[in-house]
Amino acid sequence: MTDGTGEKDLDLAAFRALVLGRGRELYRDLPWRRTRDPYEIWISEVMLQQTQTSRVDGRWQRWLERFPTPAALAAAAPADVLDEWQGLGYNRRALALHRAAQAVAALGGELPSETAALEALPGVGPATAAGIRAFAFDLPSVYLETNVRAVLLHELFPGEERVSDRALAPILRATCPTDASDAADDPRTWYYALLDYGAYLKRTVPNPSRRSAAHARQSRFEGSHRQKRAELLRVLLAHRGEPGGVGFDAIFKELASTEEKAGRRPLSAPEVEALLDELSREGFCRPGDGAWQV
């Protein structure tokens, strides 16, 4: 139904009431919801990107024990940061966190609350910045992630395909509370309700977020280029304590063993060299005197 101008005629008050009610019913007491520390929330937001909540619970706590503050993360060796990130996928995010922590440390050690300042940090995009603003600072934001999209599409765009974020963002601007004066209905509570209702919908109905124009099916990991990069980095990290690094022959043999055990063709020497050069250009490793190290 439209309002005569081509825009959808939405009962946003009823939508808000429904979401807040489902949020109270479905609330998940997750560890990162027990803090308002911007750094701790930032780490949770990055870890939760394309990663199941159950995998992050435990890893988030361990990360904070090892790197409890932005200053501690900034001072850490990149190899230690990458080592702690292993198993969470998308290793670029670990390097981006490290660079962003160094930028935060240079600014005095406190994460900013302004959207532009947050998005200026390496690896911090609109969704991460919005999550930090809402969950750490209780500030209004447009927090568009997959569970939030699921709710909007299920309730307000039933049956519609390829719905753009451009159509969804104004709804979030209109429905997100503008301040934290009501503890039962503030930006933090509002987005927790959307997240929990969205998680419930994805378990109980065909995933509504697949009807988003932003939805992209994740490619197969095993045997992919990403898998080979990740395995190469794992080999390099396993040898990071060796003086001078690890030689090419050892890297080649370990990668060949991994691929053969998985029933895949071993990489050729030129393919391994190309992977090493690729990781080196991105800052994951560096060549030494006939060897490589993280």
Give the CA angle between residues 83, 226, 294 to the nearest 5°.
Answer: 35
Q: Sheet containing 286-287: give its strands across.
A: 246-247, 291-293, 286-287
Smallest CA-to-CA distance from 233 within 29, 90, 42 is with 90
Residues with Cβ within 8 Å of 106's Cβ and at least 6 positions away in sequence, in order, are: none
Q: Which pair of tokens denotes residue 10?
A: 């939405």
What is the C-alpha separation between 95 and 245, in angstroms, rounded?
20
How is residue 177 written in tokens? 């509370």
SS3 category, 255: helix
Token pair recorded at residue 143: 């927090």
Q: Name the phi and psi angles at 287, rounded to 5.
A: -80, 150
Tokens of 176: 């997100």
d(CA 255, CA 86): 17
CA end-to-end distance (rounded Å), the chain = 57
146: enclosing H helix or E strand: helix 146-156
Q: What phi and psi values does residue 97 have, to the nearest 5 degrees?
A: -60, -45
- Out of 45, 84, 155, 254, which one is annotated catalytic? 45
Is residue 45 part of the annotated active site? The answer reads yes
Kindly list the distances between the CA atom of residue 205 and the CA atoms of 150, 196, 199, 218, 224, in Å, as whole numbers in the listed order: 10, 14, 10, 20, 30
Active site residues: 45
